[in-house]
Amino acid sequence: MIQGLIGKKVGMTQIFDDDGRVLPVTVLKAGPCLVVQKKMNDVNSSKKVQLGFVEDKKVKKVNKPMMGHFRKANVPPTHVLKEFFVDDDSLNVGDTVKVDIFEEKEKINVVGTTKGKGFQGVVKRWNFGGGRATHGSMFHRRPGSTGMCAYPGKMIKGKKLPGRMGGKNRTIKGLQVVKVDTDRNLILVKGAVPGFNDNYVFILKDSFKRR
């Protein structure tokens, strides 16, 4: 069994379950992925395979080292490569891993990059309340005082200040698979997944245990 797959976020929609309740779901295109390389760690005896995400568009501008890497595996070039753990030797270089490794009602973890919102102030970034908006207070969306006077006379590390917001790797754990479409390589996951539409995500089986 393999730990997971590379996918792409398609978007969000809603479906009805068997009881007639509306479920918000995120549609993920999971695979197909090609096995590009097999790796073995002699220190802890862990096994990994490197997967490449197969897409409809042709990959261009591949540098010579990566082109040699793909030619050695006898597979077409891919945009995204990612290593996943495996617990057996059933996969070989050139094999295809599809969405059928997942099942309905299974728990998964999804790794993605959150939406980047650029440089933001403390009100948007940290939900500060701000000051009065009337009577010339001149203190509307400012952060306020940031340090001490005499002792220790410096700003404490980790102070909430304006800065870059979003654009970080985040893992959402315990998402439930609602439906698996093996014909179109789609997974419908209950809830939200980090990132914009068409962002690459890594879909991991929550039940996978390294041996």
Q: Where are the domains of the chain?
A: 4-116+169-205, 117-165
* Cα gap 114→80, rounded to integer Å: 18
Model pTM score: 0.84
Sorted by sequence, the CB contacts under 8 Å of residue 49 that are 6+ apart come out as 2, 35, 37, 38, 39, 83, 84, 86, 91
The pLDDT assigned to 28 comes to: 93
Per residue in 102-128, pLDDT tens? 888 889 999 999 999 999 999 999 999
pLDDT above 70: percentage of residues in the chain: 97
pLDDT above 60: residue 51: yes
The domain 4-116+169-205 having CATH identifier 2.60.40.10: the answer here is no
Question: Average pLDDT of 205-210?
Answer: 76
* Eight-state DSSP code of residue 157: T
Q: In 10 A of CB 108, how many CB atoms?
A: 23
The pLDDT assigned to 210 comes to: 60
Amino acid identity at 172:
I
Q: In 10 A of CB 189, how many CB atoms?
A: 26
The pLDDT assigned to 112 comes to: 93
The pLDDT assigned to 166 comes to: 93
Question: Average pLDDT of 26-34?
Answer: 89
Query: Of 30, 35, 41, 53, whose CA–CA distance to 91 is shortest?
Result: 35
Whole-angstrom CA distances from 121 to 83, 115, 143, 161 are 37, 16, 8, 7
Question: Average pLDDT of 12-16?
Answer: 92
Per residue in 135-191, pLDDT tens? 888 889 988 888 888 888 888 888 999 999 999 999 999 999 999 988 899 999 999
When the pLDDT of each residue in the chain is averaged and rounded to a whole number, the result is 88
The pLDDT assigned to 136 comes to: 87
